[in-house]
Amino acid sequence: MPKRWQDQAAGLRQLVSPTHCRSISLCGGRGDSGTTSLVINLAAALAERQRQVMILDEFSGNQNVTSRLHLSQGFTLEHVLRHEATLADSLIESVYGFQILPIASKPQIIAHLNEAEQQWLAAEFEALTEYVDYLLLDTRPMGSSGVPSLSLAADDVVVVLSNRAESLTDAYATIKQLAQDYARRDFRVLVNRVESLTEAMALFERLRSVCQQFLGAGLTLKLIGYVPEDAKLNRATRLGKTVLDAFPDTEASMALRQLADVILRWIPPKIAHDSAGHFVHRLVESSRLLHEQLSPKRAQHG
């Protein structure tokens, strides 16, 4: 693995994971994985257990966390980077006890931050997350560009899997890229939208078998649970509510609360984190690389 990516991996982890705060990336793909709904409802379940939770949302548009909860977004990260607002100004409070920080941004804007601006952004982020227990990352799928999403930054990567062929394909692609390009060896798998534990275990075993066959036996995949197919979860989404609030006794709500209890028992990560400033430096470097890769494509279509 190139040294610049080793450095970036270490730095990105610090951005989303101060020493007292655990960062968990939920990464899905195609096949109606339902990742954003899982992030929202898991945040609510952890908040019910008196934990301070912040969602980092890498998506924009009408299907991101803010839109799903029928909330209004004011300032974006791009406003912050243009010094039109502070990072705290962009923070969105929900009525469910957790906060949302939109972090979608055009790579060229982050790419042009100078050293002083990087230090400023690092300080803003560190102040904002000082008392947060869990950062939940709703991350875009790992792509073919070679530039990582914030899944690279997290203490724990939870790959969301559903009973669709394209979901299995994307889950394998995510694990392959994180393992081969960024030396991650441990993955957690959450199966969503299935009918039973038996179905969830069968899907997990298919994924594990493919990974061991093509990526080697050195990877560790752990099934952390499943969330059953539940029409009331979809109904709660249409209402702009969490399923725990709208339908607290439904099967999906019980499964999400059990999952929150499982997460609370996870052993703390052993990785020693650098300062928050290193995280911002790596974020800038990642954005510069992505900007450089996108620029030739724009020129070809110009």
Q: Identify the pLDDT of residue 12.
A: 53
Contacts of 137 (CB under 8 A, 6+ apart): 16, 23, 24, 25, 26, 39, 55, 56, 58, 150, 151, 153, 154
> Does a structural domain hold residue 146?
yes
Q: What is the pLDDT of residue 1?
A: 46
> Do the domain assignments include residue 15?
no
Instruction: Please tell me the total count of domains within the chain.
Output: 1
The pTM of the full predicted model, rounded to 2 decimals, is 0.85
In a domain, 1, yes or no: no
Report yes or no on 4 lying in a domain: no
CA trace torsion 171, 167, 100, 22 (10° rounding): -30
Within-domain flag for 6: no
CATH number at residue 229: 3.40.50.300
pLDDT given at position 66? 95
Task: For the chain, 302 residues long, give each residue's pLDDT as a single digit of tens.
Answer: 444 444 555 455 545 544 467 889 899 887 678 999 999 999 999 999 999 999 989 888 888 999 999 999 888 888 888 889 999 999 999 999 999 999 887 766 776 777 788 778 878 888 888 888 998 989 877 654 545 566 777 788 999 999 999 999 999 999 998 888 778 899 999 999 999 999 999 999 999 999 999 999 899 999 999 999 999 999 999 999 999 999 999 999 999 999 999 999 998 876 544 444 444 555 666 566 656 656 655 555 54
Q: Determine, yes or no, domain membership for 109.
A: yes
Q: Residue 61 belongs to what domain range?
A: 21-301
Helix (H) or strand (E) holding 248: none
- Bridge partners, residue 149, by sequence: none
Q: Calculate ∠ Cα 155-275-286, nearest 5°.
A: 65
Whether 68 is in a domain gets the answer yes
**pLDDT the model gives residue 32:** 79
Does the residue 3 lie in any domain? no
